[in-house]
């Protein structure tokens, strides 16, 4: 049995779903951030897999993935910084309690 595109896509979908679940249900802002990273990486897997199997001669997918990793790293940095700031002012990173912006 050889690995096909489907297997990578199933892996990607599974990872995305786990990430999505975590992002929607967890209360800790850090865990939500990690879950979002997971979803991004699921997308990266899918990109690389499509690139490898559909257009093997080109490296389009891999290039996009590198961009994505860079953006995700920057995003995680900013996100963690915001979380740190919130934690400093409110002593919690429970998202359900961070509702100052709500009317």
Q: Give the shortest CB-94-to-another protein separation in angstroms.
A: 12
Place of tokens 């995305």: 16
Cα 66 versus chain centre, distance: 14
Q: Would you state the structure tokens that stand for residue 39, as one six-digit string?
A: 């979803």
Q: CA–CA separation, 62 vs 47, rounded Å?
A: 7
Q: Give the shortest CB-28-to-another protein separation in angstroms.
A: 12
- Complex with another protein: residue 32 or 47, whichever CB lies closer: 32
26 three-class SS: coil
Interface residue list for another protein (CB under 8 A): 20, 23-25, 32, 95-96, 99, 101-103
Can you name the residues that pair with 94 across neighbouring β-strands? 28
- Complex with another protein: residue 35 or 51, whichever CB lies closer: 35
- Complex with another protein: residue 17 or 60, whichever CB lies closer: 17
Q: Give the shortest CB-99-to-another protein separation in angstroms.
A: 5
């Amino acid at each position: 049995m050889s690995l096909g595109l489907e297997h990578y896509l199933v892996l990607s979908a599974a990872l995305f779903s786990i990430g999505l679940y975590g992002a929607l249900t967890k209360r800790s802002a850090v865990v939500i951030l990690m879950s979002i990273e997971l979803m991004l990486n699921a997308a990266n897997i899918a990109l690389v897999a499509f690139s490898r199997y559909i257009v093997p001669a080109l490296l389009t997918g891999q290039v996009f993935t590198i961009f994505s990793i860079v953006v995700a790293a920057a995003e995680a940095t900013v996100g963690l910084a915001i979380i740190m700031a919130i934690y400093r002012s409110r002593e919690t990173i429970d998202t359900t309690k961070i509702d100052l912006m709500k009317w």
